[in-house]
Amino acid sequence: MVLMGSSENILKFNTFLKGHPEMGYQVLGFFNDTKLALKNYLGEIDSSFDYMLKNEVDEIICSINDLSKSQIEKLIHFADNNLRVLKFLPDSDKIYTTKMEVEYYDYIPVLSLRKIPFDNPVNQLFKRLFDVFFSLIIIVFVLSWLAPILFVLIKLESEGPLFFKQKRDGYKGNQFICYKFRSMHMNEMSELEPATQNDDRITKIGRILRRTSIDELPQFINVLKGEMSIVGPRPHMLSQTKKYAKIVDKFMVRHMVKPGITGLAQTRGFRGEIVKNTDMSNRVRFDIFYIENWSFFLDLKIMLRTVLNVFRGDMKAY
């Protein structure tokens, strides 16, 4: 982590971490505009961004009293778009009424920018156990007989494998191979161009698979492997992540949790083809709401809506 500021609180915080190496934090140094003669002074705050990218900084601790409003806004923007954890040391003589989560390191209060229920180990374990249990049911009782049937039907219409495999961006930006039943003819543009309405690459059986979302069922294998969850932000193609991370604010926040087979954004009509940038902005907005407000019952509600949408039909399922 790096420390922003030179206040008494942040110096105490540094001393506390030095005295508790078992917490696992490595303080790389200080950024501040006072140029206080500190042992690990790294530079002014506005010069910190390149340093944090080059040195793979995980957490940023800021003394609020030492930062301007514009600097705080820049740090929030940087943290959200580069998957860094941002926390604030409050000024002890001020009262903060935001919903930020307060943690205590000894007697020093620290404010977290974003409270994520998945940070709770119990929630992580519960969600993972449900993912494994439900995935095993689908793999054993559905995919075991459905896959051989689809293998024959897909092969009769087009040459190529049963499964379509594609790299996607997952948890904390780590890439993984996402599985789907192949719904297109083999083509060289599958890694660059997502499916569009009336796309001539899609096979006849593929249209049925996509309309019913059956093509997504092999992703339960990804869930069992721990690369995905049943519910979460949908993983995007690498080309889409590269594009929208630059133009949609907070796009990378979606990678703070595992991607899902289905998600809140998909049940609210923001699935499939991205026609305009606002489509992705709305998707990100729902994804962040899900990340910050997760509960097991919200997952069940999203799963139920997904099943209902399959039977009702979805205009963007093509």
Question: For residues 189 and 170, is the Cβ–Cβ distance under 8 A?
Answer: no
Q: What counts of helices (H) and strands (E) characterise the chain?
A: 11, 11
Q: How many CB atoms lie within 10 A of CB 221?
A: 18
Question: Cα Rg for the chain, rounded, in angstroms?
Answer: 23
**Tokens 């009262």 sit at which residue?**
95
Task: Write b or e for each residue in 275-302: b if 16 or more Cβ atoms lie within 10 A of its Cβ, otherwise e.
Answer: eeeebbbebbbbbbebbeebeeeebeeb
- Residue 167 is predicted with a pLDDT of 95
Determine if the pTM surpasses 0.75. Answer: yes
Residue 26 CB coordination number (10 Å): 9
Q: Which two tokens stand for residue 155?
A: 């092969």
pLDDT tens digits, the chain, 318 residues: what are they? 999 998 888 888 999 999 999 989 999 999 998 876 678 899 999 999 999 999 989 999 999 888 888 999 999 999 999 999 999 887 654 444 445 677 777 767 777 766 788 888 999 999 999 999 999 999 999 999 999 999 999 999 999 999 999 999 999 989 999 999 999 999 888 777 888 778 889 999 999 999 999 999 999 999 999 999 999 999 999 989 999 999 998 899 999 999 999 999 999 888 877 888 888 999 999 999 999 899 999 999 999 999 998 888 766 665
What is the Cα 53 distance to its own chain's centre? 18
Report the pLDDT value the prediction gives residue 315, as an integer from 0 to 100: 65
Q: Which of 271, 153, 145, 273 is nearest to 203 (CA)?
A: 153
Q: Are 5 and 32 in contact (CB under 8 A)?
A: yes
CA distance 272 to 197: 10
Q: Both tokens of residue 110?
A: 């620290």
* Beta-sheet strands, E only, within 35-132: 41-43, 59-63, 85-89, 101-105, 108-112
Distance separating alpha carbons of residues 6 and 277, to the nearest angstrom: 40
| Beta carbons within 10 angstroms of residue 266's beta carbon | 26
